[in-house]
Structure 1
Amino acid sequence: MTGICADRVVVITGAGRGLGRAHALAFAAQGAQVVVNDLGVGLDGAGASAGPAHEVVGEIRALGGQAVADGSDIATPEGARTLIATALDAFGRLDTLVNNAGFLRDRMLVNLDEDEWDAVMRVHLKGHFLPLKYAAAHWRAEAKGGRMPNARVINTSSGAGLLGSVGQGNYSAAKAGILGLTLVAAAELARYGVCVNAIAPAARTRMTEQTFADTMSAPGQPDAFDAMAPDNVSPLVVWLGSAASSGVTGRVFEAEGGRITVMEGWRPGPTADKSARWTPTEAGEAAVKLLAASLTPQPVYGTQ
C-alpha cells in the first residue's frame, strides 16, 4: 500500500476501538505497518479481551495492509517494553508512536475515591510516559549509532485537559499532565530526530457516547457529514505521524469534525512590576486591574 506513511512502522495504544481503531485503519490506508495495542477492557478499565485488537488487525489485513496485535499493559514497564519490542520484532523498526489508551472513572471531587484517581492517572498519564520512555530509548540508541531517526510521537490529551471538565477531576488532571509531558519530550528528544505533539480530539466514542448521542447524521440524510465520527480526527494524526510533519514539534492541536485548531497554551498576559515587594492590599489592587485587562477564560466543560 502507498501513501504518506508508506513503509513507516506505527504503534498505537488503545487501538481496538474508537479513536485508536480509526487511527490504525487510517495509518494502514496510508501505507503504514501497524502495531495494534489494546487490552480490550471495559469503559471503566475492568475486564480484558484480545478480541478488539485482533479484529482491527483483521480489518487492516483484509484491506491489504500489514498489522500485528499486541495485548501488553502499557502502564507497566514490562508491558511498555514489550510493546516496543513487538514493533521491532515484527517489522524491524519503529517510526511513530501514538499514545491513545484510556478509560474513565468519573466522579464529582467530593465523591472521588483515591483508587479512582490512581486508576485514571495510571492509564492516561503513566500509560503515555512508559511507551514514550522506551520508544525514546530506542530512538536515542539509533541516533547514537549513526542512524538518525525521523520519528514521531502523538499524545492524546482532551478539552478536559485544556479547560477542565465538571465531574472529571482525575481525567482532567491526567490530560493536563499529558500536555506538560508533551512539551518536555519535544524539547528533550529533538536532538534524536523525534517530533512530539499532542491532540485534543472531540469525537463520538465509548467514552463520549452520552455527550454526542444526538450528533449522528440527520434521519433521511445518510450522506450528511457526521461531525462526531472518530475518523475525522485521524487524518491530522496520520499527518503528524508522517515524515511530512518535519519541524512540527511541541504543539497541541484540537481536532473535531472538519475543524483543526492550533492551541496557544499559557502565554503571559497583562503584567505589573513594582520592582519591590507588594503589600497584600497593593497586590490585590494590581491583580484586579490586571484581570480587568485580561482575556476572559473559556468556561469549564459542564458549566454552560
Structure 2
Amino acid sequence: MSEEKMLQGKVVVVTGAGRGIGRGIAIMAAEHGAKVVVNDLGGTEQGDGADQIPAMEVVKTIADAGGEAIANFGNVANADDAGQMIEDARSNFGSIDCIVNNAGILRDVIFHKMSEAEFDAVIAVHLKGSFNVSRAAAPYFREQQSGSFVHMTSTSGLIGNFGQANYAAAKLGIAGLSRSIALDMSRFGVRSNCISPFAWSRLIGTIPQGTDAERERVAKIQQMTPEKIAPLAVYLLANAAADITGQIFVVRNNEICLMSQPRPIRNLQASEGWTPETVASRFGPAVKSSLVPLERSGDVFCWDPV
C-alpha cells in the first residue's frame, strides 16, 4: 500500500498561481494530492491588463500529470472575486481547506515621489487581497474546525529596502494580518503562517542592475528558482504542520530560516516618571547600543545561500 500524499484530499486555492512562486506551489500541491484552484488575473507585474493563458497553462500542467485543478481569473483586490474563488473551490471540489495568498504587483518608486495611486494599488493587491481571500474562506474553516493559510510576506517589509514603501508597508501588514488570524482562529483549529521568499520572478526582476554589485546580487537571486519555495508551503498547508501557526519563515534557495518577531530588548524604568530631558540623558544613551541599524534586506541576508 502506497504512503498517503501530504495534501491528499485537500482543496487548495493559490492566488497569483499562473507564474513564478504561485505556479510552483500550485503544481507541487497537486503532486502531493491536493485539488487546486489556480487563480491568476494574468496582469503585468505592475498589475495592468489581464490574460487567462498563464492560469490555464498551469491547470493543463497539473492535469497532464494526473492531478486535478481548475482556473479562476478573479482579482484578489475585489472582495466579490475573492468570494468566487472560494465558491469555485467548493462547487467543483466539495470543500475548501487551504489558502495560499501569493498574488502581488510592484510599483517601485522612491518615497518622496510616490503617488497615492502607486501606494494604493500595491496595498490593494497584497494586503487587501490577502484579507479578502482569507476572509472569504474563514467561515468555512470555522465551521469545519480546520484550515491553513500561507501568506507571502517579504524582507522588504520585515527588514527594509529602497524605493518600496508601498510594497514594504503591504508585506509587513501581511505579517500582522497573519499573526492576528492565527490568534483569532486558533480556537477553531485554523493555522496561519507567512513565507518570505527569495526567488527570481517578474517582481524581483525589477531590481536595479546598474552597478557590478547589483548585477552580482541579481545573478545570485536568479539561481533561486520559484520552485524552491513550494516544499515549505506544502508542508505548512499539511496536517504534518498542525502545531505551527503565527510564524514567519524565509526561504533562500535550499535554506529555510525561522524569523524573529518584535519583542522588547531593552527597558528602563524611572520611579519618578520621565521628562524629555531625562529621556535624553538616561534612556537615549542606555539603548543606543541596542538600536536596530538602518539596513536593507541584502545587508542582513549577506551570506550566499546553499
Higher mean displacement: 275-284 or 53-62: 275-284
Query: Within the alignment, does 1:181 sit opposite 2:177 as a pair?
Result: yes
The residue number in structure 2 matching 1:276 is: 272
Write out aligned runs for 1:26-65 (5 A). Answer: 26-65=28-67
**Count of aligned pairs between the two proteins:** 289
1:285 alignment partner, one of 281, 292, 295: 281
Note if contact 1:6-1:32 (Cα within 8 Å) is conserved in structure 2: yes
Q: How much identity, in percent, do the aligned residues show? A: 38
The TM-score normalised by the length of structure 1 is: 0.91
CA drift of 1:265 comes to 1.2
SS in 2 for 1:44: coil
Match of 1:117 in 2: 119
Give 1:197 deviation, angstroms. 0.5
Aligned AA (2:35): Q
Matched, 1:244 2:236: no
The answer to whether 1:257 aligns with 2:253 is yes
1:163-204 deviation digits (Å, cap 9, x = unpaired): 121100100001010011011100001112110001111100
Q: Which residue of 2 aligns with 1:167?
A: 163
Question: SS of the counterpart of 1:3?
Answer: coil
Are 1:193 and 2:195 counterparts? no
Determine helix, strand or coil for the equivalent of 2:220: coil
Change (3 A) 1:77 1:289: same
> Could you tell me how far 1:287 is from its partner in structure 2?
3.0
SS at match of 2:187: helix
Q: Does 1:232 align with 2:239?
A: no
1:214 pairs, out of 214, 219, 224, with 219
Instruction: Please give the root-mean-square deviation of Cα atoms over the aligned residues, in Å.
Output: 1.8
SS in 2 for 1:214: helix
In structure 1, what is the Cα distance between the partners aligned to 2:69 and 2:271? 61
| 1:73 pairs with 2:78 | no
Question: Could you tell me which amino acid in structure 2 is paired with residue 202 of structure 1?
Answer: F
TM, length-normalised to structure 2 = 0.90
Cα distance in 2 between the residues matched to 1:303 and 1:98: 28
Distance 1:186 1:280 in 2: 38
Where does 1:83-162 land on structure 2 (aligned, <5 Å)? 83-142=85-144, 148-149=145-146, 151-162=147-158
Q: CA deviation at 1:110?
A: 1.2
Match for residue 145 of structure 1?
none
Q: Any gaps of 5 or more consecutive residues in structure 2?
A: 208-216, 301-306
**Range that drifts further, 176-185 or 279-288:** 279-288
Deviation at 1:293, TM superposition (A): 4.1
Q: Distance in 1 between matches of 2:267 and 2:288?
A: 12
